[in-house]
């Protein structure tokens, strides 16, 4: 296995631990989140429900909202049914018990949403107090749900996609490590900056430790990010990847961390995106295919987002 280039200078301010024996898996997940599981405190103390609801996938968010709505109406319907449906004017005491419960459920839904059609109304102190409490809970619940919906829509997000793989490709007379990214929404990104860090598990004084190296980029800043951007780290004599072979990438435990921040004029805010590539996600001897071309009438540039991950493989000498 190849050793790290002695000319490469290690970073000490990455924020990641250096003890390789205490580290499990990759440093950063593909979606940019830290690959860390927190323990030692109660679940409700170590998890922010607001951040969880804002960041979770859209389908899961809708599922939780609908599940909460159905569950709380079922709870109140059960209480109404337990008090007695004779205290709900408009519900007939005759008929199937499931029909009676269903009518109590729909009365609960009308009260919870404060619609109040008037077909069924409460009578008696307990039923009236319960319906009043449910109406208040409904108002507060919908206010929270509305805030969460607004937070999800208004949250500054970097709508950037990264290629699934990094590649080692020819770069002038040498080779370069290349990673591609592109915007995929109708947003305008300006003043984009990129940073790439290499993390490796190496042996030093008989111990396995994590070492991190800043990878110099051909371009680390661009004025506008409108098309694809291929981040290129030239593998020179000063690079920690100097003289790394295909076999070295296969046998070495390493990870490439990528961080991009850019200004989104739609949010009028700086947004950031992160990802990482383990060495087994690096394709040695490949070159990305072009993503954009001119239109047939030469009036526009066509950016083919489906080509973000396409590359040609070849033998790299």
Q: Which of the residue ranges 48-57, 152-161, 271-280 has the most confident prediction, judged by mean pLDDT?
A: 271-280
| CB contact at 8 A, 291 and 304 | yes
Looking at the chain, the domain(s) classified CATH 1.10.287.70 span 48-154
pLDDT tens for each residue of 61-84: 999 999 999 999 999 999 999 998
203: CB partners within 8 A, 6+ apart? 209
Residue 259: the pLDDT is: 95
Q: Is the dihedral of CA 181, 15, 47, 39 positive or negative?
A: positive
DSSP letter (8 states) at residue 185: S
Q: Determine the distance from the C-alpha atom of residue 99 to the mean position of all C-alpha atoms in its chain, rounded to a whole number.
A: 44
How high is the mean pLDDT of the chain?
87
Residue 53, both tokens: 């609801």
| CB contact at 8 A, 122 and 130 | yes
**Local confidence band at 50 (pLDDT 50, 70, 90 cut-offs):** confident
pLDDT tens for each residue of 81-106: 999 888 888 887 767 888 889 889 99
Classified by CATH at the fold level, domain 48-154 comes out as: Helix Hairpins (1.10.287)
| CB contact at 8 A, 164 and 140 | no
Encode 44-68 in three state secondary structure: HHHCCHHHHHHHCCHHHHHHHHHHH
pLDDT tens for each residue of 103-147: 899 999 999 998 878 788 888 889 999 999 999 999 999 999 999
Residue 253: the pLDDT is: 86
State the pairing for strand pair 207-215/301-303: unpaired
Residue 187, both tokens: 């947003």
Q: How many whole angstroms separate alpha carbon 306 and alpha carbon 161?
A: 11
Length of the chain: 317
Choose among 121, 125, 132, 127: nearest CA to 91: 121
| CB contact at 8 A, 180 and 225 | no
Looking at the chain, the domain(s) classified CATH 2.60.40.1400 span 20-37+157-313
Q: Is the dihedral of CA 12, 14, 17, 21 positive or negative?
A: negative
Q: How many whole angstroms separate alpha carbon 24 and alpha carbon 38?
A: 13
CATH numeric code, 20-37+157-313: 2.60.40.1400
Q: Is the dihedral of CA 110, 114, 118, 123 positive or negative?
A: positive
Residue 20: the pLDDT is: 62
pLDDT tens for each residue of 181-193: 999 988 889 999 9
CA triple 216-220-225, angle to 5 deg:
150
Q: H-type helices in 113-124, by residue range?
A: none
Q: How many whole angstroms separate alpha carbon 167 and alpha carbon 273?
A: 20
Q: Is the dihedral of CA 242, 198, 27, 231 positive or negative?
A: negative
pLDDT tens for each residue of 11-41: 666 667 666 666 777 778 877 777 777 777 7
């Amino acid at each position: 296995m190849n050793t790290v280039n002695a000319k490469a200078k290690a970073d000490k301010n990455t924020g990641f631990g250096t003890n390789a024996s205490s580290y499990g898996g990759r440093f950063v997940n593909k979606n940019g989140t830290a690959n860390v599981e927190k323990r030692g405190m109660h679940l409700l103390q170590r998890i922010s429900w607001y951040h969880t609801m804002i960041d979770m996938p859209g389908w899961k968010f809708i599922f939780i909202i609908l599940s909460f709505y159905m569950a709380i109406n079922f709870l109140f319907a059960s209480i109404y049914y337990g008090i007695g449906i004779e205290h709900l004017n408009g519900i007939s005491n005759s008929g199937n018990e499931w029909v009676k419960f269903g009518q109590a459920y729909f009365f609960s839904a009308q009260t919870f949403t404060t619609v109040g059609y008037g077909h069924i109304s409460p009578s008696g102190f307990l039923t009236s107090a319960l319906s009043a409490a449910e109406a208040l809970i409904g108002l507060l619940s919908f206010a929270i749900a509305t805030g969460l919906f607004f937070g999800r829509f208004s949250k500054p997000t970097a709508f950037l996609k990264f290629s699934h793989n990094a590649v080692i490709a020819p770069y002038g007379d040498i080779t370069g490590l290349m990673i591609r990214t592109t915007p995929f929404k109708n947003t305008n990104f300006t003043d984009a900056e990129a940073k790439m860090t290499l993390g490796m598990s190496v042996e030093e004084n008989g111990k396995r430790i994590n070492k991190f190296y800043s990878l110099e980029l051909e371009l680390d800043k661009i004025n506008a990010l409108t098309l694809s951007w291929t981040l290129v780290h030239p593998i020179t004599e000063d690079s920690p990847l100097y003289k790394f072979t295909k076999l070295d990438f296969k046998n070495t435990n390493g990870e490439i961390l990528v961080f991009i921040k850019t200004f989104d004029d739609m949010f009028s805010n700086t947004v950031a995106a992160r990802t990482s590539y383990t060495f087994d996600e690096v394709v040695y001897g490949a070159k990305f295919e072009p993503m954009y071309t001119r239109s047939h009438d030469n009036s526009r540039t066509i950016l083919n987002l489906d080509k973000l991950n396409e590359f040609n493989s070849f033998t790299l000498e």
